[in-house]
Amino acid sequence: MARNEDGGEGGSGGENAAVPRLSSSGRLSSRPDPFLVVCRCFSFVTAVTALLCVAVNILSAVRSFKDGSDIFDGIFRCYAVVIAFVVILAETEWGFIFKFWKVLEYWAGRGMLQIFVAVMTRAFPNHRNPTELILLQNIASYILIGCGAVYLVSGILCIGLLKRVRQQRELTREQTREQAAKDLEDLERRREELEQLLMAERV
């Protein structure tokens, strides 16, 4: 009787014992790298400014071809549009672009290209254009020159290399976190299977 009572108490204690559960909610939440966040914001500003250069150069080219006042200025603006698009694609850090233009992977080269586009946007102003268009040309060119200067100085100081190292570190951390989450889900699934087997044996 004592053994049965002990066994019963042990069995009930085993059934009522709290089984520790693994949960993915306990995973460590990682904060984004502030340096990379600043770099992404700056890239966004640069891309938007380059897009503004594309717009004003297209408008200037259309007016030059339409009025027939200066065909060469229109052709010049078309080249500026193409190079400005290259600047925008470089800011997306698309691997396909870096494959053909390796120099754009380095901040110094990217900054010189941005300054070149800004100079092309500002060069040979057509005073027949509306005042608003000339004002947009000035704004876009000066902002892009500023962005290019920041890229150029940062490239000389090897800030671009620091960004690439931090990006690689963040990618490695993210892969490790995903692998840990996958392992945790596997452990949770195996725990549930073991619980079902124990319940089946008790029945």
* Residue 82 CA to its chain's centroid (Å): 23
* Residue 6 CA to its chain's centroid (Å): 63
- Dihedral angle computed from the Cα positions of residues 125, 129, 130 and 135, in that order, rounded to the nearest 10 degrees: -20
Q: What is the pTM of this model?
A: 0.68
Q: What is the DSSP letter of 83?
A: H
Contact 184, 28 (CB under 8 A): no
What is the predicted pLDDT for the residue at 13?
Answer: 44
pLDDT digits (tens, 9 = 90+) for 124-161: 766 677 788 888 888 999 999 999 999 999 999 988 88
Could you tell me which residues come within 8 angstroms of residue 111 by beta carbon, excluding any fewer than 6 positions away?
147, 148, 149, 150, 151, 152, 153, 154, 155
Q: How far apart are CA 63 and CA 71, in angstroms?
A: 10
Residue predicted with more confidence, 104 or 150: 150
pLDDT digits (tens, 9 = 90+) for 4-13: 444 444 444 4
Residue predicted with more confidence, 72 or 27: 72
Instruction: Determine how many CB atoms are found less than 10 A away from the CB of residue 128.
Output: 12
What is the predicted pLDDT for the residue at 186?
Answer: 82
Please determine, for residue 69, whether its predicted confidence score (pLDDT) is greater than 70.
no
| Cα angle for residues 142, 152, 86 (degrees, 5° grid) | 70
* Minimum mean pLDDT range among 38-52, 78-92, 113-127, 175-189: 175-189
Q: What is the DSSP letter of 106?
A: S
